[in-house]
């Protein structure tokens, strides 16, 4: 967008002469496109004149368009209490969809005035509109995406939110600084939002404001890629790893591969989060261990779903202290088993951090070297079983569209191995590897089919 004109929904022709052709080339590689918008319009754009003339912008009590100069000169605010304004805004979005845009980053939506204003809907509470406006804004965009791409296929990347906005996922933590302190603050913010019923959360890896040091950037890569959603983004400097230092690309590769391999697990956990309202990330420890008094005070670690404990590192040296609740825990990187409850101190290089798998967990994961996020989550995958408990357990397999494919059951045996069973719907899927407590046990070639 051109300066002083956003958000006018137009690509700057000097920089993007053929946006549709460009997007088509990018999407030919199997990628999807997200673009940035907001709900304000700069007065120098033709879009502002169009909206003002039609009465689609928030007004003052004397009938003038309400404007300010906070982010762009003379910005107006789209009045989403006006049905015609909503329809007009959706038409602008549809122009983006037609050239191949798949998702929308709905930035801003905050600092809505409550004095000397008049909304189209005269019944609204001016004070409450300061928060409610964000919900209206995100709802309009979400429903437009859903209409275009189908139910369950709409994705936002929203910053401003209020109660009820968790229905329009997902959200990120806003414009944090590029420091270890801000990284810790981001963890606390993500935990708080999760407690508020928001299932999915992300953060600007490396921080937004300023330029992260290589140490901050690499530690933040590990943290950011163990959230439900991940992105590299910043304000005053590029966040691509090769612009930081030589090692950053390798760190990114390690944790990106881990996330790609975890996609079958993450999708199944996401389905549970949608049904229950319990966050996928960041999940406060007390959700899983409510009877443990210590878990209610932990603000530097989290659960990624119900099986994986993550403790980000906030130091250059790699020193980190974290808490393991009662039970057996397996270190993902070393396969070491430790037993809680206990506080634990570790020192990590940049290629690892505390990632511990809970006792009795069953993780369906992609094979080592997996670089895709979308693949057959029920075929040519690994079945990781950690410290199997005495009682049989089963895990649901979900495909990349969130559809349940069946279940895999695991029961411990007297000889220390496990028995694996597949539901009938999974009986044709037999190219699986069994990994028990980090040690490969071989292919699962013969198995029992059962619906129990």
Question: What is the rounded average pLDDT of the residues 40-50?
Answer: 94
Residues β-bridged to residue 75: 68
Residue 283 Cα to chain centre, angstroms: 12
Domain assignments of the chain as residue spans, ordered by start: 19-276, 285-358, 362-449
The distance in angstroms from the start CA to the end CA of the chain is: 57
Q: Where would I find the H helices in 99-174?
A: 129-149
Q: Which helix (H) or strand (E) holds 186?
A: helix 180-195
Query: Which tens digits make up the pLDDT trace of 284-293?
Result: 999 999 999 9
Average pLDDT, the chain: 93
Cβ-count burial 281-302 (b if 16+ within 10 Å, e if not): bbbbbbbbbeebeebeebebbb
The reported pLDDT for the residue numbered 37 is 96
Which pLDDT band holds residue 430 (cuts at 50, 70, 90)? Answer: low
Task: Report pLDDT for 444.
Answer: 77
The average pLDDT across 421-432 equals: 79
Task: Tell how strand 362-365 and strand 381-385 pair up.
Answer: antiparallel
pLDDT digits (tens, 9 = 90+) for 231-261: 999 988 889 999 999 999 999 999 999 999 9
d(CA 141, CA 137): 7
Closest CA to 36 of 117, 152, 156, 209: 156
CATH level 3 topology of 362-449: Immunoglobulin-like (2.60.40)
**Residue that the structure tokens 């981001």 belong to:** 186
| Residue 269: predicted pLDDT | 96
Give the pLDDT confidence score for residue 450 in this predicted structure.
43
Higher pLDDT, 414 or 282: 282
- Give the confidence band of 451 by pLDDT, cuts at 50, 70, 90: very low
For the stretch 142-164, pLDDT in tens is 999 999 999 889 999 999 999 99
Pair of tokens at residue 138: 């995100």
Judge whether residue 452 has pLDDT over 50. Answer: no
pLDDT the model gives residue 249:
97
Q: Rounded to an integer, what distance in angstroms lies between the CA atom of residue 95 and that of residue 101?
A: 9
Given a cut of 50, whether residue 448 has pLDDT beyond it is no
pTM over 0.75: yes
The residues carrying an active-site annotation are 107, 110, 175
For domain 285-358, give its CATH number from 3.30.750.80, 2.70.98.10, 1.10.150.130, 2.60.40.1180.
2.60.40.1180
Tokens of 391: 């009682």
Comparing 21 with 415, which gets the higher pLDDT?
Answer: 21
**Distance from C-alpha of 108 to C-alpha of 40, rounded to nearest angstrom:** 8
Is 285-358 the same fold as 19-276? no
What is residue 382's predicted lDDT score, i.e. its pLDDT? 95
**pLDDT (0 to 100) of residue 46:** 92
Give the pairing type, strands 231-232 and 204-205: parallel
CATH of range 19-276; options 3.20.20.80, 3.40.50.620, 3.30.450.20, 3.30.390.10 = 3.20.20.80
């Amino acid at each position: 967008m051109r300066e002083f004109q956003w958000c006018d929904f137009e690509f700057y022709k000097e920089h993007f002469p053929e946006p549709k052709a460009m997007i088509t080339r990018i999407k030919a590689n199997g990628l999807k496109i997200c673009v940035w918008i907001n709900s304000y319009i700069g007065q120098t754009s033709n879009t502002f004149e169009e909206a003002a003339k039609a009465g689609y912008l928030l007004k003052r009590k004397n009938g003038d368009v309400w404007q300010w100069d906070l982010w762009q000169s003379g910005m107006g605010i789209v009045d989403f209490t006006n049905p015609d304004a909503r329809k007009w805004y959706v038409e602008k979005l549809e122009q983006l969809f037609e050239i191949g845009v798949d998702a929308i980053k709905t930035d801003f939506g905050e600092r809505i005035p409550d004095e000397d204003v008049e909304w189209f809907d005269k019944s609204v509470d001016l004070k409450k509109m300061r928060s409610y406006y964000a919900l209206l804004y995100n709802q309009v965009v979400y429903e437009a995406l859903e209409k275009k791409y189908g139910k369950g296929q709409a994705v936002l990347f929203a910053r401003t939110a209020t109660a009820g906005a968790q229905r329009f996922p997902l959200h990120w933590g806003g414009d944090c600084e590029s420091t270890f302190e801000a990284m810790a603050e981001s963890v606390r913010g993500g935990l708080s939002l999760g407690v508020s019923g928001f299932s999915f959360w992300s953060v600007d890896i490396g921080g937004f404001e300023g330029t992260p040091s290589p140490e901050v950037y690499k530690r933040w890569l590990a943290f950011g890629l163990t959230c439900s959603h991940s992105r590299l983004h910043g304000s005053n400097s590029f966040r691509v790893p090769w612009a930081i230092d030589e090692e950053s690309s390798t760190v990114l590769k390690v944790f990106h591969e881990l996330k790609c391999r975890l996609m079958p697990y993450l999708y199944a956990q996401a389905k549970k989060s949608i049904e229950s309202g319990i966050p996928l990330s960041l999940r406060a420890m007390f959700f899983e261990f409510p009877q443990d008094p210590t878990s209610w005070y932990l603000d530097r670690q989290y659960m990624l779903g119900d099986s994986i404990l993550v403790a980000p590192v906030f130091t250059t040296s790699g020193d980190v202290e974290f808490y393991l609740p009662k039970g057996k825990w397996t270190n993902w990187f070393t396969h070491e088993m430790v037993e809680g409850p206990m506080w634990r101190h570790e020192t990590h290089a940049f290629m690892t951090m505390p990632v511990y798998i809970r006792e009795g967990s069953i993780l369906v994961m992609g094979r080592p070297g997996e670089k895709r996020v979308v693949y057959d989550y029920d075929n040519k995958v690994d079945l990781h079983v950690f410290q199997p408990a005495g009682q049989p357990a089963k895990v649901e397999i979900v495909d990349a569209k969130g559809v349940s494919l069946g279940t895999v059951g695991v029961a411990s045996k007297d000889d220390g191995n496990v028995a694996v069973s597949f539901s009938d719907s999974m009986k044709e899927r037999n190219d699986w590897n069994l990994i028990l407590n980090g040690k490969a046990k071989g292919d699962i070639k013969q198995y029992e089919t059962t619906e129990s």
